[in-house]
């Protein structure tokens, strides 16, 4: 079975939750006899054809980027050629330029779409995009969504409930590096014995301003792992609030990230907008058996982190509620340990890459069987 994955960004140019999901699908489904290829845009696609671990990635020149949407003219011919060679096209939403390509090329192949997030930031442009988006979703053979929470709360998905399938994201622990002794010792010397950890790209919807405000008056040790467009703004805010126990670590490699996840006290994940549809960092914390604090937005964050079972869920953009949750965990290590153990158990039950790949492969087979019967 040959699958073409199509999304606006991918490794090694960018790292993020959607890229991680595509990577896990491509790597994990190889054992199921699936040949995955990825087509993406890149500002500097040289070389155009690369290998990411065990799967092939084709990068096409991005001509320009507007409103978080990459545009490319050369991608039309490349997409047409690669779709012709595939048995099924797996789209990753949202990316409006992808919708245009689908209808212009008229590739005629069966389609599956992973609905990663509603369109949130560009809400004014959404009014213009909505007719195309609706037609695109309607034209898909299956729509995959990562949590029942998001399926219930997304107005865009309501008309397509009959062809929407919940497939939780999953991770392969074996794909993460083992932590070397010197790495462990390095971080043990650099960080407090007990600290909260945030992991993610520093974007507008991550709610880190709420986290910094929550630390006023308590100033628990917090390590912020990741870079991004808000980094300088957040550093200035921490300085203005005179927070002395916040460390901005920037982007780190996977070994350092795993090490910090293993030694942290708990993960704090204050994303406050529906752009945060799931939270891969929550999965990574669950994989490491850590308690979590997240916000209730009707998205997958509280599908991964069950309130009072694997951690605590607080209202979004509410520093006082976030502070109270951090204080509760900080002062109750036995409860934090219980939450962490539950998180690990839930990871093993629901969130492994093996389960995600097997369910996705079943969807592929169902779609292909339906199309061949037509």
Summarised one tens digit per residue, pLDDT across range 252-263 is 999 999 999 999
One domain for residues 338 and 366: no
One domain for residues 61 and 196: no
Please report which confidence band the pLDDT of residue 346 belongs to, taking 50, 70 and 90 as the band edges: very high
One domain for residues 121 and 36: yes
Instruction: State what percent of residues in the chain have pLDDT above 90.
Output: 91
Pair type for strands 164-166 and 222-225: unpaired
Please report which confidence band the pLDDT of residue 124 belongs to, taking 50, 70 and 90 as the band edges: low
pLDDT of residue 219: 81
Which pLDDT tens digit goes with each residue over 158-199? 999 999 999 999 999 998 999 999 999 999 999 999 999 999
CA pair distance 286, 351, nearest whole angstrom: 9
Instruction: Give the residue among 203, 200, 167 at the shortest CA–CA distance from 303.
Output: 167
Beta-carbon-side half-sphere exposure of residue 324 (alpha carbons within 13 Å) = 9
Which pLDDT tens digit goes with each residue over 96-117? 999 999 999 999 999 999 999 9
For residue 344, give the CATH number of its domain.
3.40.50.2000
CA pair distance 233, 171, nearest whole angstrom: 32
One domain for residues 180 and 167: no
CA pair distance 63, 71, nearest whole angstrom: 6
pLDDT of residue 154: 94
pLDDT of residue 282: 97
pLDDT, average across residues 4-15: 94
Phi, psi of 187 (to 5 degrees): -75, -30
Which pLDDT tens digit goes with each residue over 33-48? 999 999 999 999 999 9
Q: What is the mean pLDDT of the chain?
A: 95
One domain for residues 222 and 337: yes
One domain for residues 134 and 267: no
Asked whether residue 67 carries a pLDDT value surpassing 90, the answer given is no
One domain for residues 186 and 122: no
pLDDT of residue 374: 76
Asked whether residue 121 carries a pLDDT value surpassing 80, the answer given is no
CA pair distance 54, 14, nearest whole angstrom: 18
Asked whether residue 122 carries a pLDDT value surpassing 90, the answer given is no
One domain for residues 154 and 264: no
CA pair distance 188, 121, nearest whole angstrom: 39
Total structural domains within the chain = 2
Q: In this structure, what DSSP letter does residue 60 have? A: E
Q: Which domain holds residue 301?
A: 173-350
User: 120 versus 165: which is more confidently predicted?
Assistant: 165
Task: Determine contact, residues 238/227, Cβ cutoff 8 Å.
Answer: no
One domain for residues 22 and 60: yes
One domain for residues 340 and 357: no
pLDDT of residue 127: 83
Residue 267, SS3? strand
One domain for residues 157 and 178: no
Task: Determine contact, residues 92/114, Cβ cutoff 8 Å.
Answer: yes
Task: Determine contact, residues 58/37, Cβ cutoff 8 Å.
Answer: yes
Which pLDDT tens digit goes with each residue over 270-329? 999 988 889 999 999 999 999 999 999 989 999 999 999 999 999 999 999 999 999 999
pLDDT of residue 137: 98
Instruction: Give the residue among 177, 182, 175, 137 at the shortest CA–CA distance from 158.
Output: 137
One domain for residues 59 and 104: yes
Please report which confidence band the pLDDT of residue 15 belongs to, taking 50, 70 and 90 as the band edges: confident
CA pair distance 218, 201, nearest whole angstrom: 25
Asked whether residue 218 carries a pLDDT value surpassing 70, the answer given is yes
């Amino acid at each position: 079975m040959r699958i073409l994955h199509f999304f606006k960004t991918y490794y090694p140019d960018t790292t993020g939750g959607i890229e991680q999901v595509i990577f896990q699908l491509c790597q994990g489904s190889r054992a199921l006899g699936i040949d995955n290829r990825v087509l993406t845009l890149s500002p500097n696609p040289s070389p155009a054809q690369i290998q990411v671990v065990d799967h092939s990635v084709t990068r096409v020149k991005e001509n320009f980027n507007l409103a978080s949407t990459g545009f490319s003219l050369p991608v039309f011919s490349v997409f047409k050629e690669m779709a012709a060679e595939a048995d099924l096209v797996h789209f990753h939403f949202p990316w409006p330029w992808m919708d245009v390509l689908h209808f212009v090329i008229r590739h005629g192949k069966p389609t599956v779409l992973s609905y990663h997030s509603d369109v949130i930031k560009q809400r004014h442009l959404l009014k213009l995009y909505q007719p195309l988006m609706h037609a695109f979703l309607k034209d898909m053979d299956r729509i995959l969504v990562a949590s029942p929470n998001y399926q219930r709360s997304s107005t865009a998905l309501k008309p397509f409930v009959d062809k929407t399938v919940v497939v939780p994201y999953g991770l392969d622990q074996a794909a993460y590096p083992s932590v070397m002794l010197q790495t462990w010792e390095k971080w043990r010397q650099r960080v407090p014995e007990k600290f909260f950890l945030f992991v993610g790209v520093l974007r507008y919807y991550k709610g880190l301003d709420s986290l910094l405000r929550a630390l006023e008056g308590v100033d628990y040790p917090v390590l912020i792992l990741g870079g991004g467009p808000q980094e300088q703004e957040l550093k200035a805010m921490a300085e203005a609030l005179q927070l002395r126990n916040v460390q901005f670590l920037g982007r780190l490699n996977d070994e350092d990230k795993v090490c910090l996840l293993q030694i942290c006290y708990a993960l704090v994940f204050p994303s406050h907008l529906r752009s945060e549809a799931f939270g891969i960092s929550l999965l990574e914390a669950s994989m490491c058996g850590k308690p979590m604090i997240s916000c209730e937005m009707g998205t997958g964050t509280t599908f991964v982190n069950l309130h009072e079972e694997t951690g605590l869920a607080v209202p979004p953009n509410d520093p006082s509620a976030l502070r109270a949750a951090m204080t509760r965990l900080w002062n109750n290590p036995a409860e934090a340990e219980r939450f962490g153990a539950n998180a690990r158990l839930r990871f093993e039950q629901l969130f492994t890459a093996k389960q995600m790949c097997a369910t996705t492969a079943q969807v592929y087979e169902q779609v292909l069987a339906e199309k061949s019967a037509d």
